[in-house]
Chains A and B, each alone.
Chain A
């Protein structure tokens, strides 16, 4: 009964989404208030029914209803309840429903929080969101229905893939989707503006907070994915340049460029057609990512079960959506010129360089990810493009970007006026370099070019990012949320860079063969293999190794890596044991059993790796702070500057 209820709710939601699109878009076109007025309630109704459908699916999982095919394939009665709920989005059909739910939630938020926007505009925004919802719901109902019954019902389920039986499954996909899908809002704002034929600074001010919040969720989502892969996959890597990872990173790069470009459009009405294009690109890359993950076109650890028929559907929808938006762009963009100017060294030019570099980075990743497909399609054979390529190539736009960021933060509009800052920044650079060299030598005993460059850049950006807020607080000047947010986000970039430089340059990874009783010394830490024992978990059996980690004779931690075999799927899984610290992680994983009682053990020393994710969190937090800036909340057309503020203050 409940699955049918869920199915029916989804169909109702589809009808409401269609109503939302039709009445919203046509109502705005014909300027009919009664039609436009349908959009908001349609959004609310759509949300209710989508939530209901999702709830029904979740209920089926929790109740172990194995007469539902999707539940039977992805769950098991021995699966702890927590994972039963998370398993809802563990495979293709359910994750699509999550996608739809997230989109419905964003649409609801837009409908609720934009009372002050002109009616035709908001009707168009909701209309475009409705079109996207319609597309995804049609796709789900037609090719990927999570509610199809399995008759006769299975006696028990196939169990959730052991790799997914982890806390991170509960948080990574929802947060990632919130970010990914959130760019649909910026996309809809862009389409609405193009349909209206009007794009001004007010539009940029409306679009910015939505974009920043979506970007914030995407940042956290990607960081969570990286952290999860690190401890779950047993290899200790934190980024693999896997096609699916790239599929989430490209929208992030485009989104970052978009946030910066919106700044220029909001402040000076410049870069309007470029900002439009970026808003289209960011969501297009999200859609492309959705396609890549589910179509079987690329090989990936993350790919969902593949089916070319589904791939054709998504591709068609993608083409219509993006093609439609780009056609609007080709039509409207030529009229969006402006005659405002800015000097060679100005905030605008720094933001222009920022955008160029970010877009180049995204383009390079796109090229690398799709290149094997191009070569295969042209019958030129099969090649692989893997981490060695991406790592080398990504640095090309990134290093200049870091260099520019440290300075650009302080540039003024129209004319940079960096005179007074040249010396402090230069001194900061020299100090950063000295600190970088010194710490590399002191802590790690050796210096590499990339590590030094990375550490220097990171330290310098941190210094540069903190200058403005600290000087303002010292002088008791006001500090707007926008300035503070920006500083925190750039501070995060610096922290991230330090983390990456540290871990990539100085990590030590060793595969050793050990028998209980033996020990090995890595990076100054002694890893003593004490014993091996069997343990039982709720739905798995495991062999557990006990390792005593000491340094200079003092106990650091006892680590217990496991080799699990889940009872239903009989897939062996490595559960690494990690001890976390401010300066380093120590990572131990059991490999295969060798002869003679020996086991192959992977031990890793990962200096500064926590800063990779900490940096990302700071970036996201900065975004959150920036999005709460007062100017996004008030409705007034013009805001007089508060008395006594200097030229630098006004956001």
Chain B
């Protein structure tokens, strides 16, 4: 129990890194978590395929600063993201918005899973019927093939 508490405390303390002025950390872990999520969701437009969290570009650092300031000013995630899309378009979002043109994208997992399940069930039912119809089938080996 003690070790657990110590670890928890240590981790909470560790998340407040020191140094001159990293500017990267919020005292409030919820804000910090929101910050980290946001900077991983925004694309760095200078570097190919990096988020502004990962990118070393000057613009990425500037945008991270903007996100930080907006969080401190109490803006919501949606407001921060629309700040970015107002200036750079939807292209800056790594997590595509859920709008008409991306319905297919976001609904695909459920749709495909549904279709896949339907196909699988159909096949299994059919084969199951065939298996039971085979009254005198030999006892086939099990085990891997």
Chain B binds chain A: yes
Interface residues in chain A, defined as those with a beta carbon under 8 Å from any beta carbon in chain B:
234-235, 237, 240, 242-243, 263-264, 266-268, 270, 299-301, 303, 339-344, 346-349, 352-353, 356-357, 359-360, 363-364, 367-368, 371, 375, 380-389, 393, 396-397, 409, 411-415, 417, 441-446, 482-483, 486, 508, 510-515, 518-524, 574, 591-592, 594, 596, 598, 641, 647-651
**Sample (9) of A-B pairs whose CB atoms are under 8 Å apart:** A348-B127, A367-B105, A388-B94, A389-B96, A396-B110, A512-B22, A513-B19, A513-B21, A649-B141
CB-based nearest B residue for A242: B49
Is the CB–CB distance between A341 and B134 below 8 Å? yes
> Which residues of A lie under 8 Å from residue B50 when comparing CB positions?
235, 301
Which of A511, A523, A650 gathers the greatest number of chain B CB atoms within 10 Å? A511
> Which residues of A lie under 8 Å from residue B43 when comparing CB positions?
384, 386
> Which residues of B lie under 8 Å from residue A594 when comparing CB positions?
20
Is the CB–CB distance between B119 and A356 below 8 Å? yes
Is the CB–CB distance between A344 and B124 below 8 Å? yes
Q: How far is the CB of B82 from chain A (nearest CB, A)?
A: 15
Is the CB–CB distance between B128 and A341 below 8 Å? yes
Is the CB–CB distance between A383 and B143 below 8 Å? no
Q: How far is the CB of B9 from chain A (nearest CB, A)?
A: 8
B7 in the interface (beta carbon within 8 A): yes
Is the CB–CB distance between A237 and B54 below 8 Å? yes
A508 with B120, Cβ < 8 A, contacts A342-B127, A384-B91, A385-B96 known = no
Is the CB–CB distance between A360 and B113 below 8 Å? yes
Is the CB–CB distance between B17 and A510 below 8 Å? yes
> Which residues of A lie under 8 Å from residue B19 when comparing CB positions?
512-514, 518, 520, 598
Is the CB–CB distance between B49 and A240 below 8 Å? yes
Assembled-state Cα–Cα distance A20/B4 (Å): 68
Which of A360, A417, A483 gathers the greatest number of chain B CB atoms within 10 Å? A360
Is the CB–CB distance between B112 and A360 below 8 Å? yes
Q: Which 6 pairs of residues, A with B, have the shortest CB-CB distance?
A: A412-B142, A386-B94, A341-B130, A341-B131, A388-B95, A445-B7
Q: Which residue of B15, B48, B54, B96 contacts A235 across the interface (Cβ within 8 Å)?
A: B54
Assembled-state Cα–Cα distance A650/B140 (Å): 10
Assembled-state Cα–Cα distance A518/B18 (Å): 9
Is the CB–CB distance between B142 and A347 below 8 Å? yes
Is the CB–CB distance between B120 and A353 below 8 Å? yes
Q: Which residue of B8, B101, B102, B119 contacts A446 across the interface (Cβ within 8 Å)?
A: B8
> Which residues of B lie under 8 Å from residue A346 when comparing CB positions?
131
Q: Mark B55-93, 1 if CB is under 8 A from A, else 0.
A: 010000000000000000000000000000000011111
Q: How far is the CB of B74 from chain A (nearest CB, A)?
A: 24
> Which residues of A lie under 8 Å from residue B51 when comparing CB positions?
386-387
Q: Which residue of B49, B105, B129, B142 contacts A648 across the interface (Cβ within 8 Å)?
A: B142
Is the CB–CB distance between B91 and A524 below 8 Å? no
> Which residues of A lie under 8 Å from residue B139 when comparing CB positions?
647
Is the CB–CB distance between A382 and B91 below 8 Å? yes
Q: Which residue of A341, A349, A443, A524 contacts B14 across the interface (Cβ within 8 Å)?
A: A524
> Which residues of A lie under 8 Å from residue B15 when comparing CB positions?
508
B30 in the interface (beta carbon within 8 A): no
A301 with B145, Cβ < 8 A, contacts A341-B131, A446-B8, A513-B20 known = no
Is the CB–CB distance between A340 and B130 below 8 Å? yes
Is the CB–CB distance between B94 and A384 below 8 Å? yes
Assembled-state Cα–Cα distance A518/B21 (Å): 12
Which of B13, B25, B133, B144 gathers the greatest number of chain A CB atoms within 10 Å? B144
B34 in the interface (beta carbon within 8 A): no
Q: How far is the CB of A485 from chain B (nearest CB, A)?
A: 9
Q: How far is the CB of A468 from chain B (nearest CB, A)?
A: 8
> Which residues of B lie under 8 Å from residue A360 when comparing CB positions?
109, 112-113, 116
Is the CB–CB distance between A445 and B8 below 8 Å? yes
